[in-house]
Structures are given as C-alpha cells and as structure tokens.
Amino acid sequence: MRPDLEIGPPDDATATAVRTLAAAAAAADGVPPLSEQPLLNLRTDSADLTHAVVRVSDDVVGYAQIDRGTDPASAELVVHPDHRRRGLGTTLLRTAVRDARLPARSGAPGRRSGPLHVWAHGYVPAAQAFAATLGWEPVRDLRILERALPPADSDPQLPDGLRLRTARPDDDAAWLDLNSRAFADHPEQGRTTQADLDARRAEAWFREDGLRLLAPDDGGAPLGFIWTKVDPQNPSEGEIYVVGVDPGAQGCGLGRALTIAGLAQLAERGCTTAVLYVDGDNAAAVHTYAALGFDTRATDVQLAPSTTRE
C-alpha cells in the first residue's frame, strides 16, 4: 500500500495516533523518539510549526514536527518499527529540510529559520545508521544524568536573606522574565511563553509546590528558581526539571543550592532516583552535577548535514 503524506495541524484522533506511534517506537528502541515539547505541540496550532504525518491504510506510521521558532530550526521524527527501511524516514526528513527554509512567523527577536537540526533521542543504532547514510553528524549533545536518592537528602544552604517559596500564578510574569534572562542563549528553554507554562500546568505531573522561587525575605524580585517533576506513572523517579539563576547572581553557588533543594524535595516525595538534562557544552553545570553525584545515563544528539557544522 502506498504511503500518504499529510501536512497540517493534527486533529484529536491523529494526535492520539502519533502518541501511540511514539510509544511503539519507544518500546522497540528503549528510548522515546519524541521529547516533551513536540508532544505538547500536538495540542497547539502555531504558525512556526509544521506537522507531517505518513499514513498507510489510514494507520499513522510516520510523523515529523518542524519548529522554525528555534534558532536554528529543529525537527523530531519517528517511523514505526514495522515500517522502517522503506524510505519513510527520508521522506519525512526531506519535508523537514524543505519547511525549515520557510520564514519563522513568531516575530520573536533573534530567531531565524534554518539550517535544520534534527534530534536523535538516545542516538540508537537505527538513528546512527540513518544519519551515516545521509551524511549527517552530531552538532549538539544533551546528556541525561541520574543519581540515586537516599531517603533523606541534604538540606540546601541558602544565603542569608533568601528563602524558597512556592510560585503563585501571580508570579508568572516575574518567572517568565527570570527564565528568559537565565536562558537567554538556550534555544528551547529561553523561549518559554505563558502558553507553554499553562500547558505544563495542565499536565498530570504538575504540582504547585514543584515550582519554587528563590526570593529575598523582603519580597523583592526572585533571583532563581527550582522546578521538579514526578511522572505519576513512574513515581520512583523524579526530575530536576529546570534550575534557573538570574544572570546577575550567577557564580555564587545558587544553582548548586537550588539543585540540592530539588533533590531533597524529590526524596521527600519518595523518589529513589533523580534525573536531569544538561547540554554537554555547559561545562559549569556538568561539573556541578558531577560533584553532586550524577552520572550519564544516555545522550540525545542534534544532527545536521556535515557541511553546516561550524
């Protein structure tokens, strides 16, 4: 049966089929093929997103999402294990390369389209072979770190005059401003919007006390934050979801203190393992997490044609 390629925002049934496809690939490869943001994007209709769906006999067997709002443009794709080595991945990649050249429409300053970078989560053998055949190579690595959590972890040593408190909805503007400045050079985290924050609040894992601000006792603007995440379907494992520090307060050990606070919270919630994600070229963060006992579990990579690598 000839595959059909569809371009456009997925309806609810197609979004559900994409999630089912991703689950089948994860079961075969041992790693999810799509990260959190593309799955959340299945519920949004952004002008900067392209959704490409491959069907065979009405079954969704391939999917790609291209995001022109990042710099550079990025994509994630998945092909069902039973339909690989039939050119579907190449078709999706060509679609992604084509659409990455379209202009970004978000109007966000400092962002442009292309060259395309494609995520390969876990960089499993199938992805390595696919990349080698096409002449693509890793240009960025995102490390997944883990460490065991004892029943009671260390308490953070916060500077005098600062305290951790649960973020409230009326803190959203302050948090978004702090997050954008703390991650000004980060291609994903720094572009978080109110809609992104609201989408995460709607997720089953969200808890109000999971997002805490480090703020002066006198009620001044927050200097940092720690956000933890526990998936209800895997309660033994908790994630240091995001740690952010005001650029003007970096270099004072606040990131380490906030991470320790997050580990303590995860231990209190009964987690026995903590995980986090960090860019491999963030030497300071990699060093901090290694000193806190984290080891590398796996590595995600972004791939690009070898001619685009600087």
Q: Strand 117-120 relative to strand 74-79: parallel, antiparallel, unpaired? A: parallel
Distance CA 256, CA 57 (A): 52
Q: Is residue 88 one of the residues assigned to a domain?
A: yes
Q: What is the mean pLDDT of residues 131-154?
A: 90
Q: What is the mean pLDDT of residues 221-234?
A: 96
Q: Count structural domains, the chain.
A: 2
74-114 pLDDT tens trace: 999 999 999 999 999 999 999 999 998 887 655 444 444 45
Per DSSP, the residues of 251-300 read TSSHHHHHHHHHHHHHHHTT-SEEEEEEETT-HHHHHHHHHTT-EEEEEE
Does position 49 have pLDDT exceeding 70, yes or no?
yes
Q: Do 285 and 167 fall within a single domain?
A: yes
Q: What is the mean pLDDT of residues 48-71?
A: 94
% pLDDT > 70, the chain: 94
174-209 pLDDT tens trace: 999 999 999 999 988 999 999 999 999 999 999 999
Q: Do 214 and 104 fall within a single domain?
A: no
Task: Write down the pTM of the prediction.
Answer: 0.89
Residue located via tokens 């005059």? 161
Distance CA 38, CA 44 (A): 10
Distance of CA 35 to the CA centre of its chain: 6
Q: Do 113 and 225 fall within a single domain?
A: no
Provide the mean pLDDT of the chain.
91
**CB 211 within 8 Å of CB 178:** no
pLDDT recorded at residue 310? 45
Q: Do 274 and 150 fall within a single domain?
A: yes
b or e along 2-36 (b: 16 or more beta carbons within 10 Å of the residue's beta carbon)?
ebeeeeeebeeebbebbeebbebbbeebebbbbbe
**Higher local confidence (pLDDT), 133 or 64:** 64
Q: Do 88 and 204 fall within a single domain?
A: no
Domain closes at, from 98, 129, 160: 129
Q: Do 122 and 156 fall within a single domain?
A: no
Domain closes at, from 61, 95, 129: 129
Q: Do 15 and 85 fall within a single domain?
A: yes
> Which of the given ranges, 101-105, 219-223, 227-231, 304-308, has the highest pLDDT on average?
227-231
pLDDT recorded at residue 153? 64
Distance CA 238, CA 272 (A): 8
Domain closes at, from 129, 160, 192: 129
Q: Do 89 and 51 fall within a single domain?
A: yes
- Domain at 113, CATH number: 3.40.630.30
pLDDT recorded at residue 125? 87
* Cα R_g (the chain), whole angstroms: 20
Q: Is residue 181 one of the residues assigned to a domain?
A: yes
Q: Do 40 and 122 fall within a single domain?
A: yes
Q: Is residue 310 one of the residues assigned to a domain?
A: no
How many other C-beta atoms are found inside a 10 Å radius of the C-beta of residue 146?
17
pLDDT recorded at residue 110? 44
pLDDT recorded at residue 300? 96
Q: Is residue 135 one of the residues assigned to a domain?
A: no
Q: Is residue 38 one of the residues assigned to a domain?
A: yes
pLDDT recorded at residue 139? 94
**Containing domain of residue 87, as a range?**
4-129
Q: Do 152 and 289 fall within a single domain?
A: yes
Q: Is residue 275 one of the residues assigned to a domain?
A: yes
pLDDT recorded at residue 158? 87
Q: Is residue 309 one of the residues assigned to a domain?
A: no
pLDDT recorded at residue 113? 47
Residue 191 has φ and ψ, to the nearest 5°, of -100, 15
Q: What is the mean pLDDT of residues 44-64?
A: 93
Q: Do 125 and 150 fall within a single domain?
A: no
Q: Is residue 83 one of the residues assigned to a domain?
A: yes
Q: Residue 130: which pLDDT band, with cuts at 50, 70 and 90?
A: confident
Q: What is the mean pLDDT of residues 268-288?
A: 95
Q: Do 276 and 196 fall within a single domain?
A: yes
pLDDT recorded at residue 124? 86
pLDDT recorded at residue 142? 96
Distance CA 259, CA 262 (A): 5
Of the candidates 65, 67, 177, 173, the residue with the CA atom closest to the CA atom of residue 111: 67
